[in-house]
């Protein structure tokens, strides 16, 4: 350990405004402090408290390494810590801690976040299990909303477990500790060495145990383990069963939750077992999980659950006066106040065509800007005003999706591409068949970013069959995109 490594102490002031008050917790890689937030230095008025997270340079694991290994491990931890700050800065959801600031203090990396005053789910389950069904579903729905937001970017958490889910004093659920989270971009830096499995024993997906590349559906499996425990009071494969625990996660199908908890609906039974499928492609997406769970969640006006718990996770969903978490995360790529034609007059097709030309030029340059944002804000309006069949409507939607994809908002892009194929291309002439295949290939690129290889394989195979029946000019254009997607798919298939 470095003899001069900074050690946080009560009273220290970080960034000239955050005064450390008391330690909240310490793990192998980081420690978290409660801090007072002062608007103008130490003498200024105090605002709400915040959480300050420091990267640890003094952990026992680091002290056991030789100097060269320790230097290498510190470099990895520093890089992970910076990436966690970058990810939190890009995630905007009430179920994920908001990042206020980040930097270094006496050479120690830190980040300042919204403080979640409450209890972690591990403690909550230990105190209140078995939970009333409504309480279990309220926790699951709120956590799923936050994870669906992360997956839209896409980001995989990789360490979902009860200790990394908080319930604040008002009952709101917050997913914390994105310390080993990873962007699912092809160019994302890999900080995990082979032979090193990240995550927590008992909540690892089969592909994590096999040291394969994680996808968004890795989180679905890990959260499936948590959801099972919410419903039944026990994980699908209890930690006490030391013998063969890894083999159980790799090969054994757990019993339905209803075996251990009366009253679990058949649809929830089926959903949990699908979340725990051994093959990632057989699991639902987090969006599908959220969609299926929401109708079962408590609603405004429902009675509070019995027995009561404190905090009460059903409160944000059943009490109208409390602000409810949004069901869908607004895309950070398209501000809600993006300029668009005023609502007081009908859209002018020539004006919209000129806007698309400017947006397409921005996208071709690799720098989506104001015109792209305006197009993204017009998708619903052009469809409502002109219907789904007009080419200009398809052009607006396609341009909006291309912009989202370039900005790495692959979830929004994939949804728009899917709508175009399902609702906006009705004819079956050569031009329409070529466009349908191109849109499916672009959607496949979005799914590749989530690690969904099966969608890409199907799109590439279908595009090849379609190209064979097209006129030469249309076939050549489609084939160029098909080869590009196939190349990226091949690279993913080669990634262990």
Task: Kindly state the helix (H) or strand (E) to which residue 145 belongs, with its residue range.
Answer: helix 133-152
Radius of gyration of the chain (CA): 25
CB contact at 8 A, 275 and 220: yes
3-state helix, strand, coil in the chain (%, to 5): 50, 10, 40
**DSSP three-state, residue 36:** strand
Distance CA 409, CA 396 (A): 17
Structure tokens that stand for 81 in this block:
């810590």
The active-site residue, picked from 159, 168, 177, 486, is: 159
Distance CA 430, CA 436 (A): 10
Query: Given phi > 0 = left and psi -120 to 50 = alpha, else beta, which region is 95?
Result: alpha
Task: Kindly state the helix (H) or strand (E) to which residue 41 belongs, with its residue range.
Answer: none
CB contact at 8 A, 436 and 425: yes
String of DSSP letters for 4-34 = T-----TT-EETTTEEEEEEEEE-SSEEEEE
CB contact at 8 A, 49 and 21: yes
HSE-CB at 128 with a 13 A cutoff on CA atoms is 23
- Which of 430, 349, 429 has the alpha carbon at shortest distance from 393? 349
Distance CA 203, CA 160 (A): 7
Distance CA 450, CA 186 (A): 10
Backbone angles phi, psi at 158, to 5 degrees: 75, -5
What 8-state DSSP symbol labels residue 282? G
Question: What's the gap between Cα 82 and its chain centre?
Answer: 18
Distance CA 26, CA 63 (A): 16
The answer to whether the annotation marks 278 as part of a ligand binding site is no
Strands of 165-168's sheet, edge to edge?
A: 118-120, 165-168, 173-175
Structure tokens that stand for 166 in this block:
């908080």
My answer on whether omega of the bond before 395 falls inside 30° of 0, hence cis, is no
Any catalytic annotation for residue 159? yes
Please report, in range form, the residues annotated as the binding site for ATP.
Answer: 53
Please report, in range form, the residues annotated as the binding site.
Answer: 53
Which residues does the annotation mark as catalytic? 159
């Amino acid at each position: 350990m470095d003899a001069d490594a900074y050690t946080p102490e009560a009273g220290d002031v970080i960034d000239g405004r955050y005064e450390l008050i008391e330690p909240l917790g310490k793990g192998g890689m980081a420690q978290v402090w409660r801090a007072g937030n002062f608007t103008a230095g130490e003498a200024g008025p105090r605002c709400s408290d915040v959480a300050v997270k420091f990267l640890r340079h003094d952990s026992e694991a680091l002290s056991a390494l030789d100097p060269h290994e320790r230097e290498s491990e510190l470099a990895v931890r520093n890089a992970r810590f910076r990436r966690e700050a970058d990810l939190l800065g890009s995630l905007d959801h009430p179920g994920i801690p908001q990042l206020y600031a980040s930097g270094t203090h006496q050479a120690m990396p830190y980040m300042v976040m919204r403080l979640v005053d409450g209890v972690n789910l591990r403690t909550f389950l230990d105190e209140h299990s078995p939970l009333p069904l409504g309480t279990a579903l309220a926790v699951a729905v709120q956590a799923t909303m936050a994870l669906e937001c992360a997956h839209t970017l896409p980001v995989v958490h990789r360490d979902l477990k009860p200790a990394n889910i908080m319930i604040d004093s008002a009952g709101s659920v917050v997913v914390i500790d994105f310390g080993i989270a990873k962007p699912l971009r092809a160019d994302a830096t890999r900080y995990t060495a082979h032979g090193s499995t990240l995550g927590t024993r008992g909540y690892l997906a089969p592909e994590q145990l096999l040291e394969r590349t994680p996808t968004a559906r890795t989180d679905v499996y890990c959260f499936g383990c948590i959801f099972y425990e919410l419903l039944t009071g026990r994980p699908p494969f209890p930690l006490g069963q030391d013998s063969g625990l890894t083999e159980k996660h790799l090969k054994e199908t757990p019993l339905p939750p209803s075996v251990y908890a009366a009253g679990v609906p058949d649809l929830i039974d089926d959903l949990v077992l699908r979340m725990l499928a051994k093959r990632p492609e057989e699991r639902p997406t987090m969006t599908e999980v959220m969609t299926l769970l929401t109708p079962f969640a408590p609603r405004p006006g429902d009675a509070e659950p019995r027995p009561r718990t404190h905090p009460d996770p059903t409160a944000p969903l059943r009490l109208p006066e409390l602000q409810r978490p949004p069901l869908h995360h607004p895309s950070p790529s398209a501000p809600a106040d993006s300029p668009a034609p005023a609502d007081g007059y009908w859209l002018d097709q020539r004006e919209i065509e000129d806007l698309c030309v400017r947006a397409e030029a921005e996208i071709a340059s690799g720098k989506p800007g104001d015109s792209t944002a305006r197009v993204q804000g017009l998708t619903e309006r052009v469809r409502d005003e002109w219907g789904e069949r007009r080419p200009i409507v398809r052009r607006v939607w396609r341009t909006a999706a291309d912009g989202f994809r370039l900005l790495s908002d692959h979830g929004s892009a994939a949804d728009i591409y899917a709508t175009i194929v399902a609702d906006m291309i009705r004819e079956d002439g050569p031009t329409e068949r070529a466009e349908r295949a191109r849109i499916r290939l672009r959607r496949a690129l979005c799914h590749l970013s989530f690690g969904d290889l099966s969608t890409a394989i199907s799109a590439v195979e279908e595009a090849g069959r379609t190209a064979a029946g097209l006129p030469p000019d249309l076939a050549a254009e489609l084939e160029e995109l098909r080869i590009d997607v196939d190349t990226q798919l091949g690279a993913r298939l080669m990634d262990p």
